[in-house]
Amino acid sequence: MRLLVRSVNLLLIQCTAQVRPSVGMATGSQFHKLATATATKTKTVDTDSNNKSQRQSVAMSPLTDSFGRHHTYLRISLTERCNLRCDYCMPAEGVPLQPKSQLLTSEEVLRLARIFVEQGVRKIRLTGGEPTVRRDIVEMVAELKALEQLEHVGITTNGLVLTRLLLPLQRAGLDSLNISLDTLRKDRFEKITRRKGWERVIAGIDLAIQLGYRPKVNCVLMRNFNDDEICDFVEFTRERPVDVRFIEYMPFSGNKWHTDRLISYSETVQLIRQRWPEFQALPNGPNDTSKAYAVPGFAGQLGFITSMTEHFCGSCNRLRLTADGNIKVCLFGNKEFSLRDAMRSEDCTEQQLVELIGMAVQRKKRQHAGNGGNRTLLHPHHTHRQRQQLGQLRNCSSLTHINAQGKAQMVDVADKTLSLRVASAEATVQVGERLTALIAANELAKGDVLSVAQLAGIMGAKQTSQLIPLCHNIALSSVRVQATLLEAEQSVHLVATVRCQGQTGVEMEALTAVSVAALTVYDMCKAVSHDICIQNVRLLSKSGGKRDYQRQ
């Protein structure tokens, strides 16, 4: 549902008093003018001083990036789930969902929201997936509205359950809503979304208007699909005070890169003006992503989100928090920082969370992340999982351990920010039936295989920099190695988790730990059999660095 934009125009009155005292004693009137002029000047100096102080405060905020953009708008994804299957957004069978334990709890969402608000966020929009599938959505809005410095709470929804939820949401304090609707025709709605419910969405829009909202209706334009409804959407604004926003279709691998379906903003404006020549542009706010237009006399207006043809990065003030707790500073970027992992760490303070947020913001690019025209483009409503999968397709960096001459080098991490780094890795050792029985009974001549493997893994993690030439010598705060005998699979499963508070990651330490542990299992068992196979030595996850990773 749509965001209600309130603009406040400030009238600045500048007073200038000029005093020209005559020779001799000044009159009372002249003294009054002089006093007024002095007071005005003093007030101006004080105001300038306050403004300068405010500017310095903004510049020093962790929410201000290296290009001076101050981020006051946070979008929070409450869930990866959705009750529609829009064909441009995901396959018909849906996308794999993360375990619930990997997603932020309501308490964690509210804690992070409070931290962001304390640092300067003034507007929060709840998204998904589809946020209304959360059972506690009304309570979530009420809790957010209770944050004193937060000025605005909005929601983006597909509108399917608005007739049931909107009144409770309004009572909870919801300020605005955006509704995603790509067609005004019932049959097309079912074709696009692969679900029924068009009537309920229209009823939800009308209910929002009746309750005093001015909803935004987001429409993704697609050539030869709904482009013949452009004028119908304009007509939709004749009697309804809504803001229909046409979003340029963005191709990506999941929708088979149908670039021929893109209809540009300029082409759409020309088409509308063929029917309504008086269709005119309206003023836009400094951080607006939509270019506003209207037909004079219509109750509503139109907007164009030109993500493909004209980016709006220079004024971007938005940050995103994914359902699994990653902060994204750019929708088009694949750099994510896990606030969830840091927050769930026993030794992570709230100040360290703020520093991690600031570190992420500082790494925001001047404009869309990626490699120029070769970047993969996403739709604004894609789930975190889709963004993550598509982000992996980008060629976003060169090899850091090679210099300009192609020679090996150690990366200089001196300028990197200290942060909590965590990595986990695993390995499997297939030992066969006989060795499985001997390990289970602890009857091998060399002793307790699992215990020795665990100790060897810990020692290996601490010796990583001496084994891998270009690895840094890191002061590890924790190394945990778990060795489990899987009797049914006739194997030993090894998992290592390594932590540090440092300037570089610990994935190599985790991989070294499971590798050394696996070799130790082999060494202790080889007297019985050489038919042993070390398999699947691989990273499971890493967080706290330049790019977080979670194996799917």
Q: Is 523 a catalytic residue?
A: yes
109 SS3 class: helix
φ and ψ of 149, to 5 deg: -85, -5
Question: Which residues sit opposite 302 in a β-bridge?
Answer: 244, 293
Beta strands at 290-294 and 301-305: parallel, antiparallel or unpaired: antiparallel
Instruction: Give the DSSP letter string of 438-451.
Output: HHHHT--TT--HHH
What CA–CA distances, in Å, run from 229 to 232, 236, 462? 5, 10, 64
Residue 268 identity (one-letter amino acid):
T
Judge whether 427 and 534 are in contact, CB under 8 Å: yes
Can you say whether residue 111 is alpha, beta or left, with left for phi > 0 and alpha for psi between -120 and 50 degrees? alpha
| Surface-to-core class of residue 106, CB atoms within 10 Å of its CB (0-12 exposed, 13-18 middle, 19+ buried) | middle
Question: How many CA atoms, within 13 angstroms, populate the side-chain half-sphere of residue 416?
Answer: 15
Give the closest residue to 500 by CA, choosing from 326, 338, 345: 345
H-type helices in 157-301, by residue range? 162-172, 186-193, 198-210, 230-236, 265-275
Question: Which residues sit opposite 492 in a β-bridge?
Answer: 429, 485
Question: Which residues sit opposite 123 in a β-bridge?
Answer: 73, 152
Judge whether 173 and 155 are in contact, CB under 8 Å: no
- Read off the tokens for 270: 């020309």
If residue 139 lies in a helix (H) or strand (E), which one and from where to where?
Answer: helix 137-145
Judge whether 150 and 76 are in contact, CB under 8 Å: no
Q: What is the DSSP secondary structure assignment for residue 208, as one 8-state letter?
A: H
Q: Which of 232, 523, 531, 548 is catalytic?
A: 523
Question: How many CA atoms, within 13 angstroms, populate the side-chain half-sphere of residue 87?
Answer: 14
Question: How many CA atoms, within 13 angstroms, populate the side-chain half-sphere of residue 517?
Answer: 36
- For the chain, state the CA radius of gyration: 29
Instruction: Report long-range pairs for 91-94 (Cβ below 8 Å, ≥24 apart).
Output: 91/254, 92/194
Cα torsion 92, 95, 99, 103: sign? negative
- Read off the tokens for 304: 């164009």
Whose tokens are 């192609």? That residue is 406
User: Which are the catalytic amino acids?
Assistant: 523
